[in-house]
């Protein structure tokens, strides 16, 4: 019986140790893209970018920054858009894509870093 | 460098060419805007649906008064607009739009088919805005052309969620008016992703206003 308690104790300890690892895993599951875009000069006109990505089922959050020539899109867990799909949506919105960078940052974190 | 040349060319154009506002005739895929504009002797209203960033369809109404030959003109029209060329640069964007349509016009001389064509060339950064717009309204026994050139300066660079503030100087002329001499105007322009508002005064001391809303 004591051996059973010892095994349960070790198992519980392992679970506790695993808990922080699980939290990190949630962060790592966040997938966003930072897209450098040419032509971003007018807020009224750039509204289409936000609307386009907000219509996507994969989108969790969108950031448009004229100052940084940046469009950032955060995806829902387990969902994403390919670079080609992102490029197509931005080109169809009337802009040119310079680069696409994948990141584990949330859009909220990207927004904070720009403030 | 091409952008610089285009900006200089538009600025030069401003010097010799002189009244529709230069809000873009196309927005983005699925975009819908309502536009209302008032000047000394003319009013416009328009609904535009953008099928893509290159094409849009509008239903519009123009009313002009103080016309030399026809007294006044009312034109209801349907038009299509096309983005012929766009130049996207890191800190600027230039555009060339053209449009045309048909409608039904009524003047003091009678009623009939009216035609409506125009173009807009614009170039902007977040601090400088230039545009040249020309619209021709044409029908049986009458023809009026609105030309506008604009040069705007923003006191600060706006960002996406902030309201942009611009001071815009305009040169305007409408042919066929009793007074068809070129006029100047100064307007304050405010816009954000949802709405666009301009208000100012022309060189005859008459007010002008423009409002556009993203639906």
pLDDT at A112 (0 to 100): 92
pLDDT beyond 80 at B49:
yes
pLDDT at A11 (0 to 100): 52
Domain with A26 in it: 22-114
Which DSSP state fits B177?
A: B
pLDDT beyond 60 at A12:
no
A48, A50, A66: residue with CB nearest B159: A66
Can you tell me the distance from the alpha carbon of A98 to that of B91, in angstroms, rounded to the nearest whole number? 13
pLDDT beyond 70 at B10:
no
Domains along the sequence of chain B with CATH:
2-214 (2.40.160)
B53/A92 Cβ within 8 A: yes
In a domain, residue A56? The reply is yes
Q: Is B155 helix (H, G, I), strand (E, B) or coil?
A: coil
Can you tell me the distance from the alpha carbon of A80 to that of A100, in angstroms, rounded to the nearest whole number? 13
User: pLDDT tens-digit profile of A48-70?
Assistant: 899 999 999 999 999 999 999 99
In a domain, residue A13? The reply is no
Can you tell me the distance from the alpha carbon of A14 to that of B32, in angstroms, rounded to the nearest whole number? 57
B29, B86, B159: residue with CB nearest A52: B29
Question: Between the CA of residue B35 and those of B45, B98, B189, what are the distances in Å?
Answer: 5, 18, 14
A92/B52 Cβ within 8 A: yes
pLDDT beyond 70 at A26:
no
The mean pLDDT value for B172-182 works out to 86
Q: What is the mean pLDDT of chain B?
A: 87
Which DSSP state fits B206?
A: -
> Are the C-beta atoms of A65 and B25 separated by less than 8 Å?
no
Cα angle: B20, vertex B209, A51; to 5 degrees? 80
Of A114, A101, A72, A35, which is closest to residue B162 (Cα–Cα)?
A: A114
pLDDT beyond 80 at A105:
yes
Which of B9-18, B85-94, B116-125 comes out lowest in average pLDDT? B9-18
The helix, strand and coil proportions of chain B, stated in percent and rounded to the nearest 5, come to 5, 65, 30
Q: Write down the residue that tokens 């930072």 correspond to.
A: A34
A44, A69, A94: residue with CB nearest B90: A69
**Under 8 Å CB-to-CB from B169, ≥6 apart: which residues?**
B150, B151, B152, B184, B185, B186
**Residues comprising chain B, all counted:** 215
Q: Residue B85 forms beta bridges with which residues?
A: B96
CATH number of the domain that residue A105 is part of:
3.30.70.100
Q: Where are the alpha helices (DSSP H) in chain B?
A: 2-16
User: pLDDT tens-digit profile of B23-42?
Assistant: 789 988 889 999 999 988 88
The mean pLDDT value for B115-136 works out to 95
Q: What are phi and psi of B156, to 5 degrees?
A: -145, 160
Band of residue B13 on the pLDDT scale cut at 50, 70, 90: very low
The first and second tokens of residue A2, run together, are: 């004591």
In a domain, residue A106? The reply is yes
Band of residue A74 on the pLDDT scale cut at 50, 70, 90: very high
**What residues of B are in the A interface, CB distance below 8 Å?**
24, 27-31, 52-54, 83, 86, 88-93, 124-126, 157-162, 164, 191-194, 196, 212, 214
> Are the C-beta atoms of B197 and B211 separated by less than 8 Å?
yes
Q: How many domains, in total, are found in chain A?
A: 1
């Amino acid at each position: 019986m004591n051996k059973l308690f010892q095994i349960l104790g070790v198992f519980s300890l392992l679970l506790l140790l695993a808990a922080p690892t699980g939290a990190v895993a949630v962060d790592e599951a966040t997938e966003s893209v930072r897209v450098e875009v040419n032509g971003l000069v007018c807020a009224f006109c750039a509204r289409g970018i936000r609307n386009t990505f907000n219509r996507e089922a994969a989108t969790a959050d969108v950031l448009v920054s004229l100052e940084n020539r940046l469009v950032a899109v955060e995806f829902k867990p387990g969902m994403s858009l390919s670079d080609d799909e992102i490029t197509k949506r931005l080109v169809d919105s009337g802009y040119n894509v310079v680069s696409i960078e994948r990141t584990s940052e949330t859009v909220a974190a990207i927004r904070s870093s720009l403030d | 460098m091409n952008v610089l040349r285009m900006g200089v060319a538009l600025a030069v154009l401003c010097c010799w060419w002189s009244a529709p506002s230069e809000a873009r005739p196309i927005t983005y895929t699925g975009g819908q805007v309502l536009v209302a504009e008032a000047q000394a002797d003319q009013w416009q209203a328009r609904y535009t649906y953008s099928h893509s960033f290159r094409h849009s369809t509008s239903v519009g109404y123009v009313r002009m008064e103080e016309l030399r030959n026809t007294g006044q003109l009312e034109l209801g029209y349907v038009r299509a607009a096309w983005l012929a060329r766009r130049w996207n640069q890191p800190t600027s964007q230039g555009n060339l739009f053209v449009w045309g349509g048909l409608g039904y016009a009524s003047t003091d001389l009678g009623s009939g088919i009216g035609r409506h064509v125009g173009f807009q060339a614009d170039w902007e950064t977040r601090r400088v805005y230039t545009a040249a717009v020309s619209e021709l309204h044409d029908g049986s026994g009458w023809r009026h052309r609105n030309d506008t050139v604009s040069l705007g300066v923003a006191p600060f660079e706006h960002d996406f969620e902030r309201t942009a503030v611009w001071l815009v100087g305009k040169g305007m002329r409408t042919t066929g008016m009793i007074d068809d001499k070129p006029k100047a105007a100064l307007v304050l322009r405010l816009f954000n992703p949802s709405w666009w508002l301009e208000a100012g005064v022309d060189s005859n001391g008459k007010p002008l206003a423009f409002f556009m809303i993203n639906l």
